[in-house]
A and B are shown apart, each in its own frame.
Chain A
Amino acid sequence: MKETNDARVKSLLKQALRPVSPELQRDLWPQMLRHIDERSPGKTVPWFDWALLAILVISILAFPHSILVLLYHL
């Protein structure tokens, strides 16, 4: 009697719950990275990149014609 009940409960549970797939439906890593990124304090541009930008601007100002050559490569 008890075994019959167990089998019935098991069958009811199987019907009520969706089958769980062992495989992930989507890649969670990008979401995790974004979450970490959002939590990181002060998303600032590093000084090194500002220095590179300054070099770029100074070069363009010193040789304005070179803009065309730069644009040709973009």
Chain B
Amino acid sequence: MNTHRYLRAYMAGIVVPTIAVPLGLVAFFIARYGFQISIPIERVVIFPMALVPTFFGLWNMLYARLSTGRYLPLGLHGALLPVVFIPLGMTSAVAGQFLSLGSKGIVWFDAITIPYTLFVPWIAVVIIFYYLIWKYLVGFCNKVLEIM
């Protein structure tokens, strides 16, 4: 299987976010209707549904391109993605009016406050999350589709 390498890389990349989106939607519905957190789901889902899978696919295509020579392991390559995603996601959230800067911290969905002191550790957690997802889940898909 040595044809359409980049197409296979794209497809391997989008598997994880495509599976995660419905699960995320369920979590948002539970938060909204179960815990009465006023999340504007119709605006929130735009970023996870439209942009995240596409970026995962393109990021994996980039890995397929770069990994032919000496390059980072897949986990570290994936851990770099939040560097792009966090500013993009936050910009999208500000545009969707469900992220604001409060006096104590960053307020998501008018309900969840991440204190400014915890912002850097929170970014570290997101990076860890991405590292593990890319190393094990995207890595598995890449092996199945013979990208690596």
Contacts and interface: CB of A to CB of B under 8 A. Distances in A.
Interface of A: 26-27, 30, 33-34, 49, 52-53, 55-56, 59, 63, 65-74
A56 B125 contact: yes
Contacts of A49: 132, 135
For the complex of A and B, 4 pairs with smallest distance between CB atoms = A71-B24, A27-B2, A65-B112, A26-B2
Contacts of B58: none
Which bracket fits the contact residues of B? 35 or more
Given A27-B2, A34-B143, A73 B89 contact: yes
B126 interface: yes
Contacts of B72: none
Contacts, number: 72
Contacts of B28: 68, 71
Interface of B is mostly: helix
B128 interface: yes
Given A72-B48, A72-B89, A52 B126 contact: no
B122 A66 contact: yes
B133 interface: yes
A63 B44 CA distance: 20
A73 B85 contact: yes
A70 B52 CA distance: 12
Contact of A69 (B17, B52, B108, B148): B108
Nearest to A28: B2
Nearest to B16: A74
A68 B31 contact: yes
Given A56-B132, A74-B52, A33 B112 contact: no
Contacts of B133: 74
18 contacts: A26-B1, A34-B143, A49-B135, A52-B132, A63-B118, A65-B112, A66-B122, A69-B108, A69-B112, A69-B114, A69-B122, A70-B126, A71-B27, A72-B89, A72-B108, A73-B48, A73-B89, A74-B48
Contact of B44 (A30, A33, A66, A72): A72
Contacts of B112: 65-66, 68-69
